[in-house]
Amino acid sequence: MRVVALAALAAALGLATPAFASEERPTPAELESELVCPVCESTLDTSNAPVAIRMKEIIRERIAQGRTKTEIKDELVAQFGTGVLATPPKEGLDLLAWVLPLAGLAVGAAAVGVLAWRWSRPRKDDDDDDGDGGAPAAGPELDAELEHRLDRELARFE
C-alpha cells in the first residue's frame, strides 16, 4: 500500500512540474490559445484582427521581458477587460459560469434517476380498494337472459 501511495505522489509531482514551468516561462502559443480577441471574439491564435495582432506583440514582448503567464494575462485583462479570457475566472459572479452547468447536469441526472426508479416500480391502481393486488374489479352481475344471449352471440363468431 505504501508503494502505491509513493508512486501516486511521484506521478502527481511529475505532472505538476510542467505546470509550474508553464507559469514561469509561458510560450506565445500557449497564451494565444487562452486569450480572446475583443473584436472578433475568437482566440488570438486564430484571429488576424489588428487588435489581436497587437495583443500577440504585447505577449511576445512581455515573455522576452521574463514576465509570468499570470502577469501577462493580468496586464491584458486590465487593458481590455475580462472578456479577453477564453475561460471565465473562477471567482465572484464568474464562478456561476462554472457552477451552473455542473449543477444543471446534477439536477438532470437526479431527475432521470427518480423517473427511472418510479417507472420501474409496479403500479398500484388508485381505484383498487378490494385488496386483490391490482386485479380489475368485476362489473355488475348479468341477468340469466342477457348472459344466455351474450353466449349465443359469441358462439356465432367461433
Tell me, yes or no, whether 77 and 35 share the same domain.
Answer: yes
Tell me, yes or no, whether 45 and 78 share the same domain.
Answer: yes
Is residue 151 in a domain? no
Is residue 40 in a domain? yes
Tell me, yes or no, whether 80 and 93 share the same domain.
Answer: no
Range of the domain at 51: 25-85
* Confidence at residue 96, expressed as pLDDT on a 0 to 100 scale: 79
Tell me, yes or no, whether 48 and 99 share the same domain.
Answer: no
Domain count, the chain: 2
Instruction: Give the cell for residue 42.
Output: 475568437
pLDDT in tens, the chain (158 residues): 676 666 666 666 555 444 444 677 889 899 999 999 988 888 888 989 999 999 999 999 999 999 999 999 999 999 988 888 888 767 777 677 778 888 999 999 999 999 999 898 887 655 555 555 555 667 778 788 888 898 999 998 87
Is residue 156 in a domain? no
d(CA 82, CA 97): 13
d(CA 156, CA 34): 82
Tell me, yes or no, whether 58 and 101 share the same domain.
Answer: no
Tell me, yes or no, whether 79 and 38 share the same domain.
Answer: yes
d(CA 69, CA 71): 6
Is residue 16 in a domain? no
Tell me, yes or no, whether 76 and 96 share the same domain.
Answer: no
d(CA 63, CA 109): 45
Q: What is the pTM of this model?
A: 0.48
Is residue 34 in a domain? yes
* Confidence at residue 19, expressed as pLDDT on a 0 to 100 scale: 46
* Confidence at residue 24, expressed as pLDDT on a 0 to 100 scale: 78
Tell me, yes or no, whether 78 and 105 share the same domain.
Answer: no
Is residue 33 in a domain? yes
Instruction: Give the cell for residue 60.
Output: 511576445
What is the full DSSP assignment across the chain? -HHHHHHHHHHHHHHHHHHHHHHHS--HHHHHHHBB-TTT-SBGGG--SHHHHHHHHHHHHHHHTT--HHHHHHHHHHHH-GGGBSS--SSGGGGHHHHHHHHHHHHHHHHHHHHHHHHHSPP--TT--S-SSSPPPP-PPPPHHHHHHHHHHHHHT-
Tell me, yes or no, whether 81 and 103 share the same domain.
Answer: no
Which CATH number do you get for residue 63? 1.10.8.640
